[in-house]
Structure formats: C-alpha cells, structure tokens
Chain A
Amino acid sequence: MSAPVSTSDPIASRDVKRHVAIAGNPNCGKSTIFNVLTGLRQKVGNYPGVTVEKKTGRFFGSHGEPMELLDLPGSYSLQVRSPDEAVARDVLLGRLPGTPRPDVIICVVDASNLERNLYLVAQMLELSIPVVVALNMVDVAEKNGVVIDLMALREKLGVPVIPMVATKGVGFIELRQAVSRSPLPPPSLCAQMPIVLEREVMALAKSLPVPAEVARGEALLLLTLHDKALDEVTHHDSQIIAATKVAQQRLRTAGLDPLSAPVDARYDWIGTICAAAHHAGGSHHAVSLSDKLDGWLTHRVWGWVAFLAMMTLMFFCIFTIAQVPMDWIKDGAGALAKWVAGHMPESELRGLLTDGIIAGVGNVVVFLPQILILYFFLGILEDTGYMARAAFIMDRLMSKVGLHGKSFIPMLSSFACAIPGIMATRTIEQRKDRFVTILVAPLMSCSARVPVYTLMIAVLLPVASGWKKAGIMLCMYVIGIVAAFCMAWLFKKKLFKGETPMLLLEMPPYRLPSFRSIAVRMWERAGLFLRRAGTVILALSVLLWALVNYPKPADPKASRSEVVAHSIAGRMGHALEPVIAPLGYDWKIGIGLIGSFAAREVFVGTMAIVYNVESGDEENIVPLRDTMLAEKRADGSPIFTPLVCLGLMVFYVLAMQCISTVAIVRRETNSWRWPLFQIAYMTVLAWIGAFIVYQGGRLLGFQ
C-alpha cells in the first residue's frame, strides 16, 4: 500500500511510544511543522478505501523516544464537508481501521488569525484526547500589532500552548517536550453547551456503542448533523439515527437550533478567551502590506495583467526549461536502448527490452521535468497565498459552467500535462467539482499532442508560412478549451446533479514561500508519479510492443512495415477500418491510433514504422511528411487530404489516448469506473468531432 518516500526505516512500529496526530486549519503552517519534525522520515500512502492521502512520519521525543506523527488533512471543522475532513474526524474518533486513535493531538494555530483558528481547537478539546496547541507564526502576529498573553491563553484553554515560528525553527524543542511529557492529562475545559443541548448529548452518549471517552464528542457531532448527512451515516444503526432525529426535534421545539447552537457556543467561548488573551495593538488599524498587494493583484485591470504574466512565466518555464532535461532523458533512453542493442544478440528479448520496456518507460519518465517544474510553481503559488487569489479572480468565469474557482489551476496545468493537473485537483473540496474537473482536464491540449499537431500541420500545409501553421495550432487549443467547458457544463447538468456548492474561500495573507517544504513536496510527487503511473505504463508498453510485433510473418526478412501489417495491431487496424472509414481513415491510420493509445506522441513513430520511413524522429519529420503526402488510396486519390489531416488533429484534441492519465485517474478516483467512462466519452467525442470535420467539410465541397 504505502512505500517509504525515502531512506530506511530504522524503527519498527512496535517501538513507537506515542501516536501523535497533527491537525489544524489550512494555511496555518501545519505541513512546515510536520516536515521539520519528521525530516525525510516520511511515508505517503492512502487510507484504505478512500483517496485521501495518509502522511505519517517518525520523530523523537525530548528523551529520544520514537513517536509516530500522523499528518491530518487541513480542515476548518470536524463537521465534515469533504472526504479529507471526514478522515480527520474518523481518525480522532478512533474509527479508522489500521489507524490507532492518537495519544496526543498537536493542534496548530495561526497566531495572526487566532479567533477562527481556535474554533477547531474548541472542537478538539471536546474529544478527551490530550491536546498541545502549537501557536504558530507569532512573529507575524506581533508585526500586525497583535500581542498574545500566553499565560492567559494557557489558563483559559487548559492545555499547553507553545509559541512557534515554524519557518525559522523556533519552538520545536518546547513542542517536543510538551508532546513527550508524561502523563498527559486529557483537556479539562471546553466550550459550555446550552443546558438543554448538554442534556440531550449526555442521553445520546449513553446509548452509543463506543468507548466512554469518545461518547460525548461523538454524540455532539451526531446531534449537530443536518438531515442529509445523518442519512448518510453508516457506522451507527438506524435506531441511533432515529433517536438523534427525535432529540433534534425536541431541541427545536425548545427553541434551540441543534445545527447552529454548538457553533455559537464555541465562538462565544472563544470570544471570552480572546478578550482575555488577545490584545490587538490599538484601534489604529494600519493597512497591511498584504492588503496593499491585494489592491494590485486583484485589481480590475492590474489583477488580470499580473495573473496573465504569472501564468505565462509558468508555462514558459514548463515548455522551455523543462525541454533541456527532457532531451537528456530522451537521449538517455535512446542511448541505453542502443547500448543494450549493441551488447545483445538479435532476439525477441532484445526487442522487448529496447522497443518495449526502455522506449515505453522512457515515454513516461520524460514528463518528469515538466511535472517537477509545475509542482515547483504550484508550491510557490500555494505557499505565498496567490492560489486563493487566482481562484478569487477566476471564480466568476468558472461558475458559468458550474465549476469552482479552484478548478482553474488544474485545468491550466493540464496544458502542460494532464497528470499533474489531475493531481492538483486535490485542492478542490467538493467531490462533484473535483470529479468534473478530472473528467474534462485531459481535453486541454497537453504537450504530448504537440508532435502530432506538428506532423499533421506539416502534411496539411507543407509550404505555408509559420503564421498560418501557428494559427491552426492555436485553433486546436481553442477546440480543446471549448470542449472542456461544454463537457464540464454537461456533466454538471446531467451526471453530477444537485446544487452548486457554496464557495467559502479563505484569502490568507501573502507569505514568503518555504523552499524546503516545496522541495519535499516535489520529491514526494515525483516518487508517486514514477511508482504508480510507472508500473501500469511498464505493463502496457510491453503489451503494445507485443501487439505491433506479433505474430511474426513467415518470411524472416520481412520489413518493419510488413511485420506491423501482419501483427495483431495490423489486424486490429483492418478490423477498425469500417469504424474509421467515415472519418476518411484507412487501416494504416488505424494502426497509428492503436499504437498511440498509450501515449499520443507515439503516433509519429508508429506512422514512421507503418510507412517504413527510417527517420521516425520527432524533430525531422520531412521524410515522413513526404511519404504521407504521396500515400494513395486504391482509386489513386491521396489519403491525407486537408480534411483528413484536420479531422485527425481534432481527433487527437478530443481523444483520451494516454495511459498515464488513465492510471492517474484510476488512482485519484479510486475506481476503474471513472477512467473507463472517460476513455469512452472522449473517444466518442473524438470520433464525432473528426466525423463532423470530414463529412461536413465534404458536404461544403472541400476535399
């Protein structure tokens, strides 16, 4: 399930003295604390049955005792809205099999945003697990003129409070000490609920089949669920749910709204704490630097300029800087294949190694530089707080098709490659929005389509100017964008019905990014990508290699193109002909479609094999272009007419044709249903698109 991200794992889990969970709101610096405590002794895996990432790490208490640290997903409340928040809640209630209920919770609190951050603390204190509050970013708070009276805060909360500046390494010794202290008593204070509510909580708690220390917290959570959520509860039998509903009704009759009363009670309690411990530096509220920056960065005109400039820079780096290491990888894979070929006698095994495994895996690894650069930028955008602004700026546009501002970055990233784009959808809380974004993201023209576009444009317009070619290229991008938005709208309308969820977006103050955290994240992503997508790719590359090579023709001197024609892929091409004939394609193009099912750019190489052109190089397509231009049908008319070329390009805009994406979608949605559905709808869409271009064009009198 989970494999170590790095290094050996010197401590067996039975030696772990304490299970510590680290929780906190998004943007409170929780990951920085996690990373500093655990270093690279981290593991990333999944919770069984859900797509939420489980991050654990080892660290040592102040006396060297080993402890396990579990990074809970950032959440605003235990009243869950997203699968991430559900995991946080279930761990804390000890409900998740395989994850022990933590012995201590480190609750990270942003000192510069104390009031709202204390809300989650207030909920944590109701769970009777010892809590240590890590009061992070005290430096920022001080700069904002906020003085926090630590003694008063400790007294009012009744738990240890450790002032920290995680980015500068301040407070970690004290934090370790607080967590290793023994014994650690459970919290003694928490928000007082109205007496009618408290009575119902106690009554319900008695009937719950859970350990006594969890019962009150669990009962309170149940009583504050709305009807729809109550009906979805699966870990309690229907009697308890019915009892909860009756109790809620009694509360309503008594004039108390069970959904809002506990929230109000907690905020009232927080109000008294802040009044005692929180001293804002006078009433003269100076406009902060962050606010000034926002004046520019979300400005009606300059906001767009800054946004476009940033996106351009990001894509410039992804397309140009990444090209250098990508070429190394390509050349490296080529050299390795050559070396193997030079050191092995001609055999089936050699073919499998060079053309199947090395070429196939090379095709995937080649995307790694782009993914790393993209994650570097996403990390900076996230850590500085600009991501929330991008969502803020784009939300209006995205909401037109029923999506969320947060869907924008994944869609944009997909121009480079759908894989990091789909991985970036994790920031979207709503499952529906996330799935719609995943489903349409591969419609954005990724960099793997560029070789196909380049070849087809060269065949279409062998002598046209660069501007004309660029114009056609741009059209393909536009077709992809329009298709993505239309399909998103359609899916939102038909597949994921229901109200558009509300947008509640926190706009954190701008901060300097922590490059250490970003580096750790890039490292993690690279590992995940290589391991998970790599295994599937390897298997499928071998399969595809076999498809274009077997069965071998009887004549051992057969040329490459004769081998392909005789192979299963060749036969599939023939079998496919009736389906693709309406698009103007013959069986040879069919082989190209099959061969590039795993990766679009393989189309170029496959066509080179089919037409028996020596140089199937992506850089030098002139010989291949000339051969394709000369290719004739049985009646002597050329195959690659302008309409066929355009149709083929449109096909590649819309078709899935990428096994790595399939593997990632499978992983991110945790089911085969969505990737299969995605292949089906995109292939149908691609066929229809190519059909309209070819047949529609012929009706209009074009060739």
Chain B
Amino acid sequence: MSAEAGEPLSALPLGQKARVLGFNLPPEQHQRILEMGLTVGVQCEVIRFAPMGDPIDIKVRGYHLSLRKKDAAGVRVERL
C-alpha cells in the first residue's frame, strides 16, 4: 500500500473531493478507521471544519464522519 503517496487528508481545503490511497497509522487506529468505511479507493469530501478549525467533518460512503487533524494526517489521499 502506498503509505507515502499523495497528500494527507488533513491538508485538503474545504469542499475538496479526494480518493483514499493508503494509511500511515498505528495498526489499531488503522483498523478502526477502515471499519468506519474509510477504505483504500473510497471517495471522500471535506464538508466543514469545526468552529476552532479542528476536527474535520468529511463525507464518506454517504455519511458524515469527523476526525481530528492529527489522525487525518495519517490518511493519504489524492485529489479528484
């Protein structure tokens, strides 16, 4: 899996759509994020940022998921 390709999810601007390329996370967190539907190849979109800039709300598989920038930094994506 391409853990270094693309850019981190946390770097995307508002409204940006992207595709997940790989992960750079500890095994436990990696598995958790996968189970929430953020798997390799899936499309996601940055919907909004919390009032203080963190966490990020993304749309994936038709639902809203929010995660902290710190964790989103471990998700590698390519812009669409």
Q: B-contacting residues of A (Cβ < 8 Å)?
A: 76-77, 79, 81, 112-116, 119, 224, 226-229, 259-260, 263-264, 267, 291, 294-295, 298-301, 303-304, 388, 392-393, 395-397, 399, 405, 499, 502-509
Contacts and interface: CB of A to CB of B under 8 A. Distances in A.
A229 B55 contact: no
15 contacts: A113-B61, A115-B61, A116-B36, A226-B31, A260-B30, A388-B66, A393-B52, A396-B50, A396-B52, A396-B54, A396-B55, A503-B67, A506-B65, A507-B57, A508-B63
Contact of A503 (B48, B52, B66): B66
A399 B27 contact: no
5 A-B pairs closest in CB distance: A507-B64, A396-B52, A115-B61, A263-B34, A226-B27
A119 B35 contact: yes
Contacts, number: 117
B66 A392 contact: yes
Interface in B10-57: 26-37, 39-40, 42, 47-48, 50-55, 57
B71 interface: yes
B37 A393 contact: no
B64 A506 contact: yes
Contact of A504 (B36, B39, B50): B36
B35 A264 contact: no
Given A300-B51, A502-B71, A392 B30 contact: no
B66 A505 contact: yes
A298 B37 CA distance: 24
A207 to B, nearest CB: 24
Given A116-B63, A507-B65, A81 B32 contact: yes
B79 interface: no
A395 B50 contact: yes
A111 to B, nearest CB: 11
Given A228-B28, A229-B28, A395-B50, A267 B71 contact: no
A115 B40 CA distance: 15
Given A267-B37, A298-B48, 20 more contacts: A76-B36, A79-B31, A114-B62, A259-B30, A260-B34, A267-B39, A267-B42, A294-B48, A298-B50, A396-B50, A396-B53, A396-B54, A397-B52, A499-B26, A502-B29, A502-B33, A502-B71, A504-B36, A504-B66, A507-B64
B31 to A, nearest CB: 5
A267 B43 CA distance: 13
A226 B29 CA distance: 10
Contact of B68 (A226, A263, A264, A395): A395
**Overall SS of chain B's interface:** mixed
A92 B75 CA distance: 32
Contacts of A291: 47
Nearest to A226: B27
B55 A505 contact: yes
Interface of B: 26-37, 39-40, 42, 47-48, 50-55, 57, 61-68, 70-71
Contacts of A295: 48
A504 B65 contact: yes
A119 B39 CA distance: 12
B72 to A, nearest CB: 10
Contacts of A119: 35, 37
A267 to B, nearest CB: 5
A116 B70 CA distance: 23
Nearest to A304: B51
A113 B35 contact: no
B27 A298 contact: no
Contacts of B61: 113, 115-116
Contacts of B33: 502, 504
A392 B57 contact: yes
Contacts of A112: 62
A503 B27 contact: no
Contacts of B31: 79, 224, 226, 259-260, 263
B50 to A, nearest CB: 5
Nearest to B40: A264
Contacts of A300: 51
Nearest to A278: B62
B35 A298 contact: no
A263 B35 contact: yes
A363 to B, nearest CB: 41
Contacts of B39: 263-264, 267
Nearest to B39: A267
A267 B61 CA distance: 11
A112 B63 CA distance: 9
Contact of A264 (B34, B48, B53, B64): B34
A177 B2 CA distance: 49
A504 B75 CA distance: 13
B62 A392 contact: no
Contacts of A76: 35-36
Contacts of A226: 27-28, 31
